[in-house]
Amino acid sequence: MDKQNKKASIRVVLKGENAEKETLIPITSWKDRAARETAASAEKDEFDWILPDEEEDIYKEDPKVQIGKKEKRKGASLNFESKNDRLFPVKQFLTTALIAVVLGVAFGFIALNVISDQEMPAAVQPQAASPAAAEPAAEPAQQPAKSASNGRLATFVVQNGKFSSKGAAESLAEEMKGKGFAAAVVESDGAFFVYGGVGFLKEETAALGQTYQKQQVEAWGGKQAEWLVPESSSSGKLQEAAETILSASLKQIAGSKADESAIQAASGLAAGVKEDSAFKKSLTEAAKQLLNDSSASAGWKAQQLILDGLAAK
């Protein structure tokens, strides 16, 4: 009981105007203490809150957000390609393809020239210049075929087809004849060739091949071919007559006028050969055809007569 009746005191520290004064409020009993705490609590509840004026700015300065510096990440980074970088592989591919096409065409022309040179007769191949020669020999303007020897006559022909069966070759030959062209089937090395013209100059048969191509007919002029002819002392005369008559027929096919006097002389030369042969007969009939008619049709007929005479066995 003595402890309960013992007086207690509470020191209250005030802030503000009375901050320097300290007041000691004696508490005589626990009831007084409880009453004082209740009163203090009531005063606290009745505290007037002073709100700031709405017209005044709440913030005198704009708040600033400070962002710390970000450290750069070490390691692999992604590089974004630009539009030009993305198009670079496409441009490179197109350029490579274009260069490949150009090179392919160039090598094709080179290969074609090499093959054509290999097809040339041996007599007209250009000879290699010897070390002692001062200047190389000039290449002839026209390339004649070899002269007849050992029963063989070398000429140039226009090739229109090559077949493994004789029937297919004869079918093409008949179709060409029906269109007014010349055609003959010749067997060589197990194949059947269709020849649409013959001559002693490569340039003449090459021109005839172009005439075929203009008529939408497949043809290759300038191929060399050899024919079997009767071997005799008069073989040279027959070849001389054949050169003139064939040249005249090709001129008429091309639309030019042939020399009639030259045709007559060639006809007489062939007729003077004593040995009879299909080749001799074809030459005389072809010369007669050209003398009677100077049209292109007569030229084709003369070609057909001579092809038949050469192809006859």
* Domain ranges, ordered by start, for the chain: 2-45, 152-311
Kindly state the tokens that stand for 36: 């004082």
Using alpha carbons only, give the angle 57, 58, 61 rounded to the nearest 5 degrees.
80
Q: What is the pLDDT of residue 1?
A: 47
Q: What is the pLDDT of residue 93?
A: 78
Task: Name the CATH code of domain 152-311 (choices 3.50.50.60, 3.40.50.300, 3.30.70.270, 3.30.70.1070).
Answer: 3.30.70.1070
Starting at the edge strand found earlier in the chain, the sheet holding 191-199 runs 184-188, 191-199, 152-163, 220-228
Residue type, 216: Q
Q: What is the pLDDT of residue 107?
A: 78
187: closest CA among 171, 165, 209, 203? Answer: 165
216-252 pLDDT tens trace = 999 999 999 999 887 777 788 999 999 999 999 999 9
SS (H, E, C) 146-177: CCCECCEEEEEEEEEEEECCHHHHHHHHHHHH
C-alpha to C-alpha distance for 159 and 253, rounded to whole angstroms: 17
185: closest CA among 70, 311, 100? Answer: 311
Q: Given CA atoms 53, 54, 57, 58 in this order, what sign does their dihedral have? A: positive
Q: What is the pLDDT of residue 120?
A: 45
Instruction: Give me the torsion for CA of 186, 140, 230, 149, rounded to 10°.
Output: -110
pLDDT under 50: residue ranges of the chain: 1-6, 17, 19-20, 59, 75-78, 80, 118-141
Interhelix angle 235-253/278-292, nearest 10 degrees: 40
